[in-house]
């Protein structure tokens, strides 16, 4: 009769050990398909273990499909047809580590956040309050597709105070980042329409549309934004734009162009405008630019914004504001989805907004960035760069444009900058249509620059951009 | 000359007031397109305000496109062509509130979580620790597409301890819920392949595939799972299954069927198996069933699981385990995406896992559910229901099946249950193909049942299901 040793079974329980021994014998065909196993009682006696041990091991093998039972007759080995078990345990796969992004001495491309700027202690305090005061069942189980009521209410009040938008909290859909919300919009509006995006523009956006198998049109811009006649020609039905602050050129779309697009949208049932208001919080001078959404009376504008820019990139909370009729469509067709942001985090953010911490935080950040920009621009003005650069668009968002008077190619400057530990990008890199590229205009995102490094950063920029003494011709 | 009153300007600043007045006059055509505005100095003197006030108002109107400047000549009104401003401020949209889900006295359909089971105080403590100890820059800016390293490491260790899976943390992709990760998989594997799902099965899954414009095949099951010949016939290339615990039937796929599917997958380059291990933590007796992933030597199995079941639905953290070659493809094609779970929450969960709290939590939940199930089944056995029901699949997951010996239609029972405040569902409701439906089998999800309500719940079930005294024929 079948027998196994129960010595050296370490931390395994008796039944687990027996289960593993029998399973191995089945896999190695020592126990053949159809073979009858000893009865529980006999086997237990023979092995010197309890009947329950054998019973548990058999039950597990039945559950996993290695044994089957015939009532009143006993346990038999299943046929493991059509396929072989691997003879050896699999080696642990070893993959190359994903390379962490290279670090630069100063990075003028990525949006980053000044250290120590985020009020973690307030966030943790609010979170603790939330766990202590809010209904636990809600905190554990609210997965509403549109987001929790408290957060939508708080966002709606924030938009009224800060953007002059009067919207119903029901129009808001909260999601884990704008990239995710783009895919929600594609499901809501339809994958078959053409989507028009700005060229130059945010290249990641057209990549997302591409990965979602959506036809994308890159529409050239003039000084006011996308050109309406080229949009009309393209046949696109969804227009995705950044009217308050175009990336990378910084263009603010004038009101006349806005009305043209609203008029364009009203001419087709499936036409919609996605208004991407990605960094409106960081207009550093003057009033915020009013949104397209707030002058839309035809229910054609979908507003999208994120807290990833205003809190920090690692917070993944963004939102849509849908026109009324699309709210109904959203709940009819996509309302079955669970939300994508944890309820705890939504509730904490709701408090952060409604108790005034967000406004304070934004004001503090804006002051910080204004100071940073002024110091940085001041240092550039006092440096030899001053005569070789023209700076524009410095009041909006967290970047400005710096046009270079240089004989060097953009590529050469990028390489020289990299040798200085600087990460730079040119407007030309954000064009989809190569032939339109404008050379020599740097996009300077200064949000991650440390104050203590400003002087040295300008010196490095000089070395990367200006002609060396021995290159008088440049 | 143009003049405005500066009385009653409330909380507005002087320049905001002036800006608003001029803008209104432009919108109402009191100021006509092309008209020249007074020079800043003259206007300021006339209004009795400072030049800076006028300058700021003009600058804002230029930024928004209501005015333009001609160097050394002054400010002019833009043409607001092709479109009219709305004459009236928009009324605030009023939408019907989304109906909150109806509440039941006892809900045997939704997964819910026992109150007070989640260790909030530990979670908050860990979160505070994380904000105090971890590098702030990482916490604020890590948005890796696959999730943060610490969490992937912790998940990999958990899978080894709990599921016997040896995987590299690089194979793990963290995302905000399985629903979101399904859409990632579609982007990774391709929208053009057919996707096969179980029938009966989790209907929400095929709805998600449908919304993502993917062809879906509902493949009938036999007692071991999806029928391999019907799968082959369908032409589907991606097979989405729940081998450890099928919903709603509770079937555990025997090892022979598993090998058949692995063999099927190995026969086509684009064939893959998505192994949905949605509630493996809650097998209440015996060892966990080994995963399909752990016997896959051909890199054909993608494993998916979620913390929304094991922590609480309102935590939106799930993950994929990709085979090696798909890891490369993921980073090549989708690595540009930002992660969808906040870094703070990922870091906290990593600690929760690696410091043993998760295991404790799961054990505590499992004990709780085991006790709940035993009491509930005990109460049913002692009730008049005992002679009219057959119970099965009670060791796996958080539901069991209850087959009714009844003359009533399923529909009638649902209505009678609803009148008793009970939410029930039948296996028949989870079939895509109507003709295959099996009648009279209830799917009893007991996870949200309160202990104090068990006796009364059974009494209500009796009234809903059993014939009333005056209905002897039933």
What ipTM score was computed for the predicted complex, to two decimals? Answer: 0.87
Q: Which ranges constitute the DSSP H helices of A313-420?
A: 324-334, 343-354, 357-381, 410-419
Which positions in chain B touch A16 (Cβ < 8 Å)?
Answer: 287
Confidence of residue A353 (pLDDT cuts 50, 70, 90): very high
Q: Which ranges constitute the DSSP H helices of A190-270?
A: 203-211, 228-234, 255-266
DSSP A273-298: EEEE-TTGGG--SSSPPPPSGGG--S
Q: At what angle do helices A343-354 and A120-133 cross, to 10 degrees?
A: 110
Using a CB–CB cutoff of 8 Å, tell me whether A11 touches chain B.
no
Using omega within 30 degrees of 0 as the cis cutoff, is the peptide bond preceding B200 cis? yes
Rounded CA-CA distance B197/A172 in Å is 33
Assess whether pLDDT exceeds 60 at residue B473: no
Using a CB–CB cutoff of 8 Å, tell me whether A350 touches chain B.
no
Check CB contact under 8 Å for A313 and B141.
yes
Confidence of residue B94 (pLDDT cuts 50, 70, 90): low
Looking at residues B34-42, what average pLDDT do you find?
90
Structure-model confidence comparison of residues B66 and B9, the more confident one? B66
Check CB contact under 8 Å for B113 and A315.
no
Confidence of residue A299 (pLDDT cuts 50, 70, 90): very high
Identify from B255, B263, B297 which residue to disrupt to test chain A contact, counting A C-beta atoms within 10 A and taking the largest count.
B255
pLDDT tens digits along A107-155:
999 877 766 788 988 999 999 899 888 887 788 888 899 999 999 999 9
CA distance B46 to chain A (A): 23
- Residue pair A284/A369 in contact (Cβ under 8 Å)? The answer is yes
Which positions in chain A touch B127 (Cβ < 8 Å)?
Answer: 124, 127
Give residues 26 to 85 of A whose Cβ lies within 8 Å of B. 56, 59-60, 63-66, 78-85
Query: What integer pLDDT is reported at residue B11 of this predicted model?
Result: 72
Nearest CA in chain A to B212: A187
Q: What percent of chain B has pLDDT over 90?
A: 57
Give residues 439 to 458 of B whose Cβ lies within 8 Å of A. none
Check CB contact under 8 Å for A170 and B120.
no
Rounded CA-CA distance B78/B65 in Å is 7
What is the token pair recorded at B358?
């998760």
Instruction: Please count the other Cβ atoms lying within 10 Å of the Cβ belonging to residue A425.
Output: 19
Q: What are phi and psi of B15, to 5 degrees?
A: -70, -35
Question: Of A83, A97, A258, which has the smallest distance from its Cβ to B263's Cβ?
Answer: A83
Assess whether pLDDT exceeds 50 at residue A88: no
Query: What integer pLDDT is reported at residue B131 of this predicted model?
Result: 87
Confidence of residue A9 (pLDDT cuts 50, 70, 90): confident
Check CB contact under 8 Å for A80 and B255.
yes
Rounded CA-CA distance B276/B303 in Å is 6
Query: What integer pLDDT is reported at residue B88 of this predicted model?
Result: 47
- Residue pair B446/B110 in contact (Cβ under 8 Å)? The answer is no
pLDDT tens digits along A161-187:
888 899 999 999 999 999 999 999 999
Task: For A54-185, list the strands marked E by DSSP.
Answer: 67-70, 74-77, 106-107, 172-175
Query: What integer pLDDT is reported at residue A142 of this predicted model?
Result: 86
Which positions in chain A touch B94 (Cβ < 8 Å)?
Answer: 168
Query: What integer pLDDT is reported at residue A307 of this predicted model?
Result: 94
Q: What are phi and psi of B242, to 5 degrees?
A: -120, 70
Which positions in chain A touch B143 (Cβ < 8 Å)?
Answer: 308, 313-314, 316
Instruction: Say which residues have a Cβ less than 8 Å from residue B126's Cβ, sequence separation at least 6.
Output: B348, B351, B352, B355, B357
Q: How far apart are the first and last CA of chain B?
A: 92
pLDDT tens digits along A439-472:
899 999 998 898 899 999 999 999 999 887 665 5
Check CB contact under 8 Å for A344 and B314.
yes
Among A320-329, B96-105, B383-392, which stretch is predicted with the lowest mean pLDDT? Answer: B96-105
Q: At what angle do helices B343-354 and B149-163 cross, to 10 degrees?
A: 30
- Residue pair B284/B366 in contact (Cβ under 8 Å)? The answer is yes
Give residues 411 to 430 of B whose Cβ lies within 8 Å of A. none
pLDDT tens digits along B226-259:
999 999 999 999 999 999 989 898 888 999 999 9
Looking at residues B204-215, what average pLDDT do you find?
94
**Phi/psi class of residue A383: alpha, beta or left (left: φ > 0; alpha: ψ in -120 to 50)?**
beta
Sign of CA dihedral B68, B70, B75, B80: negative
* Dmax (CA) of chain B: 100
Check CB contact under 8 Å for B79 and A256.
yes
DSSP B135-189: -HHHHHH---TT--HHHHHHHHHHHHHHH-----GGGEEEES-HHHHHHHHHHHH
Query: What integer pLDDT is reported at residue A472 of this predicted model?
Result: 54
Confidence of residue A199 (pLDDT cuts 50, 70, 90): very high
What is the token pair recorded at A353?
């907004």
Instruction: Please count the other Cβ atoms lying within 10 Å of the Cβ belonging to residue A101.
Output: 10
Question: Of B83, B92, B121, which has the smallest distance from its Cβ to A166's Cβ?
Answer: B92
- Residue pair B54/B18 in contact (Cβ under 8 Å)? The answer is yes
Structure-model confidence comparison of residues A137 and B168, the more confident one? B168
CA distance A305 to chain B (A): 15
Which positions in chain B touch A96 (Cβ < 8 Å)?
Answer: 170
Which positions in chain A touch B137 (Cβ < 8 Å)?
Answer: 112-113, 115
| Alpha-carbon torsion, ordered A399, A400, A401, A402, to 10 deg | -110
Query: What integer pLDDT is reported at residue A103 of this predicted model?
Result: 81
Nearest CA in chain A to B126: A124
Q: What percent of chain A has pLDDT over 70?
A: 93
pLDDT tens digits along B111-162:
777 667 888 889 999 998 998 888 877 888 888 999 999 999 999 999 998 8
Nearest CA in chain B to A131: B120
Using a CB–CB cutoff of 8 Å, tell me whether B336 touches chain A.
yes
Using omega within 30 degrees of 0 as the cis cutoff, is the peptide bond preceding B223 cis? no
- Domains of chain A, each with CATH number or no CATH: 1-95 (1.10.10.10), 106-112+360-465 (3.90.1150.10), 118-357 (3.40.640.10)
Using a CB–CB cutoff of 8 Å, tell me whether A258 touches chain B.
yes
Query: What integer pLDDT is reported at residue A87 of this predicted model?
Result: 44
Query: What integer pLDDT is reported at residue A115 of this predicted model?
Result: 63
Mean pLDDT taken over chain B: 89
Size of interface A-B (CB pairs under 8 A): 293
Using a CB–CB cutoff of 8 Å, tell me whether A318 touches chain B.
no
Half-sphere exposure of B189 (CA within 13 A, CB side): 28
Quote the Cα angle for B184-B188-B191, to 5°: 90
CA distance A472 to chain B (A): 35
Which positions in chain A touch B60 (Cβ < 8 Å)?
Answer: 286-287
Question: Of B82, B93, B341, which has the smallest distance from its Cβ to A316's Cβ?
Answer: B341
Assess whether pLDDT exceeds 80 at residue A65: yes
Assess whether pLDDT exceeds 90 at residue B356: yes
- Residue pair A287/A280 in contact (Cβ under 8 Å)? The answer is no
CA distances from A107 to A417, A418, A444 (A): 10, 10, 9
Give the DSSP letter of residue B386: G
Among A92-106, A117-131, B5-19, which stretch is predicted with the lowest mean pLDDT? Answer: A92-106
Which positions in chain A touch B262 (Cβ < 8 Å)?
Answer: 83
Assess whether pLDDT exceeds 90 at residue A221: yes
Rounded CA-CA distance A185/A1 in Å is 66
CA distance A303 to chain B (A): 15
- Give the predicted TM-score (pTM) of the model: 0.87
Beta bridge partners of A403: A390, A441
Which positions in chain A touch B257 (Cβ < 8 Å)?
Answer: 65
Mean pLDDT taken over chain A: 89
pLDDT tens digits along B381-411:
999 999 999 998 767 678 899 999 988 899 9
What is the token pair recorded at B261?
């599917």
Give the DSSP letter of residue A36: B
Rounded CA-CA distance B202/B191 in Å is 20
Query: What integer pLDDT is reported at residue A470 of this predicted model?
Result: 64
Query: What integer pLDDT is reported at residue B474 of this predicted model?
Result: 46
CA distance B139 to chain A (A): 7
Query: What integer pLDDT is reported at residue A63 of this predicted model?
Result: 82
Rounded CA-CA distance A166/A161 in Å is 9
Check CB contact under 8 Å for B289 and A64.
yes
CA distance A240 to chain B (A): 19
Using a CB–CB cutoff of 8 Å, tell me whether B136 touches chain A.
yes
């Amino acid at each position: 009769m079948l027998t196994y040793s129960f010595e050296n079974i370490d931390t395994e329980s008796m039944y687990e050990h027996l289960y593993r021994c029998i399973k191995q014998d089945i896999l190695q065909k020592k126990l053949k398909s159809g073979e009858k196993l000893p009865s529980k009682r006999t086997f237990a006696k023979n092995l010197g273990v309890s009947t329950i041990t054998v019973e548990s091991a058999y039950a597990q093998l039945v559950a996993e499909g290695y044994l089957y039972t015939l009532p009143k007759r006993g346990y038999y080995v299943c046929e493991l047809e059509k396929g072989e078990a691997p003879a050896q345990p699999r080696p642990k796969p070893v993959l190359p580590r994903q390379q962490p992004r290279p670090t630069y001495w100063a990075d003028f491309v990525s949006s980053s956040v000044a250290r120590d700027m985020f009020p973690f202690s307030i966030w943790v305090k609010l979170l603790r309050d939330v766990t202590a005061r809010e209904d636990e069942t809600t905190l554990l189980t609210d997965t509403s597709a549109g987001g929790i009521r408290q957060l939508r209410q708080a966002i709606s009040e924030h938009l009224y105070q800060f953007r002059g938008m009067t919207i119903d909290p029901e129009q808001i859909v909260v999601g884990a980042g704008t990239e995710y919300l783009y895919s929600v919009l594609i499901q809501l509006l339809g994958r078959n329409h053409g989507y028009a995006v700005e060229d130059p523009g945010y290249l990641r956006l057209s990549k997302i549309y591409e990965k979602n198998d959506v036809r994308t049109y890159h529409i050239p811009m003039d000084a006011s934004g996308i050109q309406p006649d080229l949009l009309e020609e393209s046949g696109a039905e969804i227009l995705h734009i950044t009217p308050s602050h175009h990336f990378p050129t910084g263009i603010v779309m004038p009101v006349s162009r806005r009305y043209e697009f609203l008029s364009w949208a009203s001419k087709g049932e499936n036409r919609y405008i996605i208004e991407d208001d990605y960094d409106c919080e960081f207009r550093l001078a003057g009033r915020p630019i009013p949104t397209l959404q707030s002058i839309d009376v035809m229910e054609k504008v979908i507003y999208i914004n994120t807290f990833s820019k205003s809190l920090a990139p690692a917070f993944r909370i963004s939102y849509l504001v849908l026109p009324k009729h699309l709210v109904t469509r959203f709940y009819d067709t996509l309302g079955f989805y669970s939300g994508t942001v944890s309820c705890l985090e939504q509730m904490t953010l709701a408090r952060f907004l409604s108790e005034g911490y967000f406004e304070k935080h934004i004001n503090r950040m804006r002051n910080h960035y204004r100071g940073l920009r002024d110091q940085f621009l001041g240092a550039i003005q006092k440096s030899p760069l001053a005569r070789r650069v023209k700076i524009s668009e410095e009041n909006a968002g967290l970047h400005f444009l710096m046009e270079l008077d240089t004989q060097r190619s953009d590529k050469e400057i990028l390489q020289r900058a990299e040798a200085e530990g600087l990460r730079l990008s040119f407007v030309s890199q954000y064009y989809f249509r190569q032939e339109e590229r404008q050379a020599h205009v740097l996009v300077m995102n200064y949000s991650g620059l440390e104050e203590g490094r400003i002087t040295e950063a300008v010196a490095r920029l000089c070395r990367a951009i200006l002609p060396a003494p021995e290159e008088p011709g440049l």
